Amino acid sequence: MGSNPLNLAVRFLLELAALFAMAYWGWTQHGGFIRIILAVGTPLVAAVLWGTFAVPNDPSRSGKAPVPVPGIIRLILELAIFAAGAMAFFASGLTTVGLIFSAVAILHYLVSYDRIVWLLRN
């Protein structure tokens, strides 16, 4: 169920890329102290959300859920963070990177259809 090691590696790289995109976006949008707050704070908030809200016994994660949530909530959270990453690439002027990131994220979820079904049932 979506726990193929290669697919898990792709998801991990997507997570890192989304966090990078948010940091880069924050850095490019403002100057001074606000730049630092956005560049550090935006990906930090996303990472905390990603790591905190989970479906108990999700085999594609550690199985631990610091704050247990239904599968649909987890799926929405994942999609929101990946969408925010794509939008951050686009808003930063990295259109090609944003398109590639979006395509890989969509492909990841197409390959992970069994995990999506599991999330919607749990």
Q: What is the pLDDT of residues 41-88, one digit of tens each?
A: 999 999 999 999 989 888 777 667 788 999 999 999 999 999 999 999
Range of the domain at 29: 5-121
**Whole-prediction pTM:** 0.88
Q: What is the pLDDT of residues 98-119, one digit of tens each?
A: 999 999 999 999 998 888 998 9
What dihedral do alpha carbons 18, 38, 68, 114 form, nearest 10°? -10
State the total domains in the chain.
1
